[in-house]
Amino acid sequence: MIAGVQIHTKVAQKAQAEVLTDGVLAYLAALHRTFESTRQSLLIARDVAQRRFDSGVPLDFPSETAHIRAEPSWQCAPPALGLEDRRVEITGPTDRKMVINALNSGAKTFMADFEDSSAPTFANLINGQVNLRDAIKRQIDFESGGKQYKLSENPAVLIVRPRGWHLDETRVTVDNTPISGSLFDFGLYFYHNAHELIKRSSGPYFYLPKMEHYLEARLWNDVFLFSQSYIGIPHNTIRATVLIETLPAAFQMEEILFELRNHSAGLNCGRWDYIFSAIKKRRADRSAMLPDRKDVTMTVPFMDAYVRLLIQTCHRRKVAAMGGMSAQIPIKDDPKANEVAMEKVRADKLREVTAGHDGTWIAHPLINQIASKVFDENMLGPNQYHVRREDVKVAAADLLSTNVPGKITEEGIRSNVSVALAYCGAWIGGNGCIPVNYLMEDAATAEIARVQLWQWAKYGARLDTGEQITAQYVDRIIAEQAPGVNKIAPSVKDNHLKIATKYLKDQIKQQWPNEFLTSDLMPYLTMADGVEDKWYRSVL
């Protein structure tokens, strides 16, 4: 055991013995001791910025970095091996079956997710690291229920998404303080696999979530430099794609690329979290009210502006501008409904490739054929870096436009309630992504549901019928929808649904919505792993 490092749970002992070696624990301790104070200061800066937004100071492009945006000469690193063509990327959690199916899907890359589509039980995290290690070494084949799962000869390129800067890993402490969830996920994967990946003509590639400021990107870059030196690989071997999924980050795309430029693999339109952030960051602005979730599409003005700016920014700096997630999954028992859903996927992917995106995300292997066909027909080369979009002129007002056609309906409220209850209940039970009404829901879509319900009740929005939405009205809808959750999400246990119901009712009545439901509900996972959670604000 390494001095100052403690592991507070005994779950997944076999995997722990394989993954939590003395060597990696020493490295994690070094990461924590070097970077934790900076992480904490950046999280405090987020709170300071939020108070500034609440006081009426509008978001804008930072004046102190205008010279970076104006300088045309700097570019990001060239694409690393395996990242030249990313036309379709499949995403999902890191359980063994998912890893094999995703790597075999025919997609160009697989984003193995420790974040929004994964509930971070310690078993999920540690077993996920074992699964990724085994996949890289081509030792992941297994049998289940009489069926063989084997990795194909040419699997997708692996990219890993660690948790965001705001999350702690409370089951592992260094000097009596929880280690960052980001550094835990990143560090385990990097330490165990970087050399093997390089040997196999690939590399340690990452997606970085939830950043709100270019200084948070600088922190990641410093972590990369430190880590590459620590294990003795050349600097600039790591590549990272940043999800632009918070409203403040949309005003700092150039700066985020600049900070990571020697490690950058581009930016991604993290559309669902971006909508969530747009509501949350403008929580004190009554005029920022959004209609039903289904009406907040990629073609409404503020979303369209964000997409156009991202593509222009990335291609100006010669990196990938990745499109977003299509949450649709096949409807096997209704061919007509399935064709309608798949046509939505086609239209979404056509919009992306026509706009200039270099690739897109899917949530299900059977969607790959549709997405690939659209990109194959409309993107003849490996990418579209040459599509400069010099026609694009996006001002701060465009990113903050409140022109979003649509209505707030009772059906929209009921849908939000059902999604929030089902997802929170599943998450507490250790499942981070669930199919609901043929859409793959993860933390981001549940977060939209949660903050929309809060926003509508907070400001007394009116339904299309004229009826005013109050906390009492939403309480009634929650009580009516809760008994039906097991029909749309059969895996949710009654006691977890009860916790989710209380949580959602409490959230609707807050002065401000809490930052993240994953932070709020983490104590339940920690306690299930046999650890007393002293660091999170309890929601019990």
User: 109 - beta bridge partners?
Assistant: 89, 157
- Backbone region of residue 305 per phi and psi (left: phi > 0; alpha: psi in -120 to 50; beta: other values): alpha
Residue 437: per-residue pLDDT: 87
Locus of tokens 């490295």: 27
Q: Are 162 and 206 in contact (CB under 8 A)?
A: yes
Two tokens at 179? 């280690």
Cα(444)–Cα(268) distance, integer angstroms: 15
Handedness of CA 327, 330, 331, 335 (dihedral sign): positive
Mind listing the pLDDT tens digit of every residue in the chain (540 residues)? 899 999 999 999 999 999 999 999 999 999 999 999 999 999 999 999 999 999 999 999 999 999 999 999 999 999 999 999 999 999 999 999 999 999 999 999 999 999 999 999 999 999 999 999 999 999 999 998 889 999 999 999 999 999 999 999 999 999 999 999 999 999 999 999 999 999 999 999 999 999 999 999 999 999 999 999 999 999 999 999 999 999 999 999 999 999 999 999 999 999 999 999 999 999 999 999 999 999 999 999 999 999 999 999 999 999 999 999 988 889 998 999 999 999 999 999 999 999 999 999 999 999 999 999 999 999 999 999 999 999 999 999 999 999 999 999 999 999 999 999 999 999 999 999 999 988 889 999 999 999 999 999 999 999 999 999 999 999 999 999 999 999 999 999 999 999 999 999 999 999 999 999 999 999 999 999 999 766 554 444
Q: What is the pLDDT of residue 327?
A: 83
Q: Look at residue 533 in the predicted model and tell me its pLDDT.
A: 64
Angle, CA of 433, 439 and 443, to the nearest 5° = 35
Tokens in use for 100?
A: 């094999």
Name the catalytic one among 185, 358, 442, 529. Answer: 442
Res 326: pLDDT? 84
Nearest-angstrom CA–CA distance, 291 and 293: 6
Homologous superfamily (CATH) of 407-529 is: Malate synthase, domain III (1.20.1220.12)
Q: Which of 87, 96, 133, 161 is catalytic?
A: 161
CATH 3.20.20.360 residue spans of the chain: 5-399
Phi-psi domain of 204 (left: phi exceeds 0; alpha: psi -120 through 50; beta: other): beta
The CATH code belonging to domain 5-399 is 3.20.20.360
Identify residue 303 by its one-letter amino acid code. M
User: Is residue 421 a contact partner of residue 482, using CB atoms and an 8 Å limit?
Assistant: yes
Which amino acid does the sequence have at 334? D
Positions of CATH 1.20.1220.12 in the chain: 407-529
For position 535, what pLDDT does the model report?
55
Residue 399, φ and ψ in degrees, nearest 5: -70, -20
CA–chain centroid gap for 81, Å, is: 24
Indicate the angle between helix axes 410-428 and 517-528, nearest 10 degrees: 30
> By three-state DSSP, how is residue 27 classified?
helix
Beta pairing, strands 239-244 & 205-208: parallel
Q: Which residues of 107-130 are buried (b: 16+ CB within 10 A; e: fewer)?
A: bbbbbbbbbbbbbbbbbbbbbbbb
Amino acid type, 205: Y
pLDDT of residue 499: 98
Q: What is the pLDDT of residue 538?
A: 44
What pLDDT is attached to residue 534?
Answer: 64
168 tagged catalytic:
no
Residue 462 among the catalytic residues: no
* 163, 112 Cβ separation under 8 angstroms: no
CA dihedral 463, 467, 468, 474 (to 10 degrees): -80
- pTM score: 0.97
Q: What are the structure tokens assigned to 120, written together?
A: 């971070």
